[in-house]
Structure 1
């Protein structure tokens, strides 16, 4: 007979999409409980009722802490862990100065394994239980991340980054090797345990049309896989794309023309979109991944959350480490709030939390498995201390409802706010500072 575990505390779940029905879509219980069995959520409800109904369950009482689905980071570059918060100018300068030299080191399987383990421990300490990450062109970098995730029991999505031009010799593959390596890695890892392979052209400037076509063909052969890339991050990048692809109608067309637009597509940044691009993205059900700390850090621009949401776009939230300046989805939510404010739109705390959990899970097409507290979902959870620092505690003490209590943690919280992280119902040891 399997052991049952009952977590007690405040609980926050979603019965709908707060981007369109806010905050009514949220379900909060001040004395809630989450029953876990065989790595999945068996029940969510009143803590006392669940305790009475399951007297044999092992009880872990988190007091007044908030039990939530773990955070889902929909766009990151784990190989950039060691260069996070490096001073830079614009995107292209930053890539050439920091990113490419660092990524060149990942042909060394030992180095890749060290960074992969470090990265996953850092995000787990910040309450992130699933990530979609770019690797490098080296198959060893993919193996390292999947090995590390498997050892920790994490659900992650990742893939070999493909580049055959406008990159150093140490980071270039070819159209054929990109296809061959990606296919081999996909066949090795996709669907193994909690792992998903993502077909990963970095972005149009670093891929020839031939490479994009090869990866489009691979995606057509494996449509159950996700595909991730970058789109319309900076204006000078867009101008560069137009010079490289003079026949393209717009940036998105450089992907669309090569079979790289579809419902499993994840398009990072998507700040400076043209009307045709917005219409096609919505029509195909692709996902736009908002990377707010990265957008401010590299000076990319202000994501149109209100406008894109009103169009019915599928939107996820992401740290974009290391272009993003934090491993924390709390800091990412705060930056998303600030960017929306600059565009004249105030995101509600329920909307921010949804974007970092259920919204990102939906972007990754994993909403049936992660991102929410509901029976049958995988028990990947974050437990949030709503009084983790003196500054947060004194503000929370004045709160009249959950949202006033939660918002100070969104705006000022960090890894100290993560009281516990669970993967498939098992508590994860916190990374040492």
Structure 2
């Protein structure tokens, strides 16, 4: 049968012309790239930086200032998306940065997944705080990976309003590129953050789990996460465009897809107001290009966090996906122990029945063997396929049984209006289904 990608490409073109702004899709097998398609505008809307702005290191204009309005650029001012355009992977950072680092360390016997978090240097206080007086002394690295630590999903340390409303006074933690938050300060704040509920009571997805995991990697290797990966695994894989804080590392803004046009203001509807010391809390108001969108990663973690901050392009993502198809091996070279990779990719659950229906591995999302599919994957992937999604409109999926993997990156958050943060802007499962049907040689409608 003849493989026909034209219907999928037309659909992606239509999506990029509309709400998604841009799309970059790469489909691979273990032998290399099978299909690639980029379309739309990497930059379509823009808000100019204010004369005085927190994101450039100067004082924020303050809550009394009116956020400048984002505007649709004239056609000759837009920047077209290309196969070499970098995208903010958002929560796919968890898999293609932090999980890779953790798997390497486990394979080298440098990290024990059953080690309690409070046993790591500086984390003793973590064990003394919990939900309704319950301690967290027995929360392990594996519990964080399974999202079973009971931690809150999105601690807004950078937003004094939110902290006040949730009775979390004293946890404010925000900085700028010129005044980054010290790592020991964020560890102290995390340790004192109340839990959402008791640990070991089931799956509770949390960015905080991976913020902690990234910090534990850093403590284990004695390097910041970006340096450990960029000078280690990524360099060995010859990934020169997979990195954190790309603007600081020689990547021009025109090579990076923009995200929210008005910074972190949700179309001008959000303002953090004054910090506890009375000065304006840092708040980016201009169009984000090359700065991680996620607020915790930017304001609290200097752009390098275990849960968000990684950027890449289609060619580099294709290499990472092929690494996944090889369970840590690529072109005959073993980079991660395959047994460790399979352990991380195994569905979690106490019984065979629970594992068969589970869509959760150690960090990875998994296509279950029975029951309801994991919604972004739909029903097409083989049982045991792994991947993840990202808030900026990204999806990765690795199906070893079919020797098929795909990476989808979009400009889903590059839109005007206050609905920039809406829940499900990309129809992932439809795109996944179209990829599988095209690869099978069926017509795509």
Q: Shorter-chain TM-score: what band?
A: under 0.3
Higher relative strand content: 1
Q: What TM-score do the two structures reach when normalised by structure 1? A: 0.25
Question: TM-score with structure 2 length normalisation?
Answer: 0.24
Higher relative CO (Cα under 8 Å, sequence separation at least 6) belongs to 2
